[in-house]
Each structure stands twice: as C-alpha cells, then as structure tokens.
Amino acid sequence: MTDSDSALSADRHTADRSSEGIQSPPERRLQRLAAHLAERAAATRTWLIARGIQIMCGSSATIDPAGLADIPLISAGLRLAWLRCLRLMGIRQIVSKSGLGYPFVCRIGDLSEHPFYHRRAYQKELELCAAWLRHDGQDAIVYDVGANDGFFSCQLAQMLGRDTARIYAFEPVPSTFAGLVTSVQRLRLQKSVYPISAAVMDHLGPTRISYSDQNSLCAQVTPDGLNNRIGDTLAHAAGMTLDKFHSFVGALPGLLKIDVEGSEPSVLRGAQALLARQDRPALLFEYNPLTLAERGETPTVFPELLSGYRLHYVDDLERQKFPFGSPVTELADIHWICNLFAVPLGAKPESRFAEALAKAQRRIAA
C-alpha cells in the first residue's frame, strides 16, 4: 500500500467515525423518545376528539380513529362543545358555513355533523369535482349515489352555481332521505339538487339497508339481513340501476359520485352502458377494503368494471398516504379507506384532469 493509499484509508476511517458520531446512542435514544411522545400525543388527541363525538352522538356511536387524524384539537373541541350546548337546548339542526365557505344544514347528534368541526372535510373531493365539471362551461349534471343528508350535493351545487348544476341525489334510508330533502329545501336548492329515494344497485327490485340513527354516514345495502357493525336498524328500499335511470331521465352525467359502503361494484355493474359510451362520465368513488369484503367483493373487480378508465388518488383518512392526484396502478396494495377519481382513457380527458387537479390544488393552498 502506498502512502497516498494509507492516507486515503485513514481519511475514510475518520469520515466513518464522524458519520457514526452523528447518530450516537444517546441521540438515537432521544429520537426514539421523541417519536414515542409524538405517538402518545397523537393517540391522546384522537381519544379526546373521539370522546367528544361520543358525548355528542351517544356512547354507541361507531368512530373510525383514522378519520380523526386531520381534525384540529382545540378548534374542533370548541365547536363540539357548542353543538353540545345547542343539543341540550333542544336544537337539532342549524344552518352553518362549511370550511369551503358555503352554507350547509348541520344535523346535531349525527356523525354527519362532522363538517362543522372538521373544516377541511370533503375539501379535496369537492374542489376536484367542481374543477372537472367547470372545464367545458356547460351545465353540470351529476349522479350522487349515496348522498346521505346532502352535504356533498348541496356544496357542489353552490360551488358550480345554482343555475348551472343538476345533481340527482340518491339516498335509500328513510330518515336520512328526510334530512337530504330538508337540506335542499332550507338551502333553497330545489332547482339544482333532486333527491331520489332509492338504492342504486345492479338490478331492479326491493332490498334492505342496515343503518344507525346516530351515524347516517355508514348505511349499507344488506339484502341478507342486518349488519350489526353498521347499525342496529334495518330499512326496506327500492333498488334501481343507473343505466335504467339514465334511460328514463335522459340527463347524461359528467360525473358519478359513489359512496355506498362496499356496494360500489354493484353500482358500476348497473351502469355498464353509461361507462361504455364515448362521452362517458368521470367517477369519484370511495374504496374501502373492509366494506367490499362484507359485500363479497374484491379489488380485482375494478379493472374489469372500469376498463375504460385510469384511476387517480384523491385523499384518505390517514393524512394523505399517496399524493393528491397521483396515478393508482394496483388497488390490491391499498389496505385503507380512500377516495379515487376515475378519468376516461384518452389524451383529452387526461389533459382535462391535469388542469382540474392544478386548479383544485391552487384553491386548497390559497
């Protein structure tokens, strides 16, 4: 070994020792301690918010802890306390402004009230859908399948303009449908949002719905009987398909929004004529491995049902696991609840999506 080689080896040895010194055992212990404290703080914060919601909605309310990850503790706590006071005074509904700045009807005591204290609820979905629908400057037609009490439909109608939106809102649970009708009437959106009391499926006929009076967000089509995880009440509903509905009303949607607790493949099977058109609509839908399994479905059904589409990631309940708008190639790798946006294949739809995504990102960042 030459003198220069020895010197080089010594320099490398010194550099390695310096590198080791950067992560000394005490520093590594401090990092682990900091990570542990952060986890405990997050767990405590989640428990506090969950406990507040259960106080508001009853101890039996089913709450997914992941869904609390992005809720600010102090402001959410104050808003929950205000709702609690209103409930004690016998008030069951108020009209408030969402984080997007538009009025909505808050049903006090039901988990659907969460946009009141979670100010960014549905923000990415709504901004992306609104930007997509605004693109061609024409009247926007939307089928909202699983409309709940109408928050999504009513916010989207106001974002697009009361005179330019036609949103057909499907909701099968009788008590929730009543809340949807109330929202539309109190917000004076009768010319924009059309409530339809029906369960959307892959065939026509009666079916049954499991739901909870305290959590209208999680109703599920259960033709074989009650799903106790969802709720303790069973309702009967009329079932219809989107293809049949479209043939009846003749209003071609530019967007389908589907959130039906595992019955998304059934809805898509009943919309194959719509999805095969050259001018087929885009889709926003919830992907939930648990509810899909409860309905006897697997992620492998989506590539076939959506063969004319490319999927993009929107958001989730766990602080954005994938970037907003990023392509999704393998659904089987996603083991959590998230929202996906399906774009029709082709250069023009992809360009339209890129433009809509950029506009949505700018509005969210503003």
Q: According to the model, what pLDDT value does residue 138 have? A: 75
The pLDDT of residue 308: 96
Per-domain residue ranges for the chain? 26-116, 123-365
Vertex 316 angle, CA 314 and 322, to 5°: 60
Residue 128: the pLDDT is 98
Q: Is 316 exposed, middle or buried (0-12, 13-18, 19+ CB in 10 A)?
A: buried
CATH 3.40.50.150 for domain 123-365:
yes
**The pLDDT value given to residue 211:** 94
Torsion, CA 281, CA 293, CA 178, CA 142, rounded to 10 = 0
pLDDT of residue 81: 86
pTM for the model stands at 0.82
Mean per-residue pLDDT pooled into runs of 10, the chain (366 residues):
49 46 64 63 52 46 49 74 90 94 94 86 96 86 97 97 91 96 97 97 96 88 93 95 97 97 97 97 97 95 96 93 96 94 97 98 94
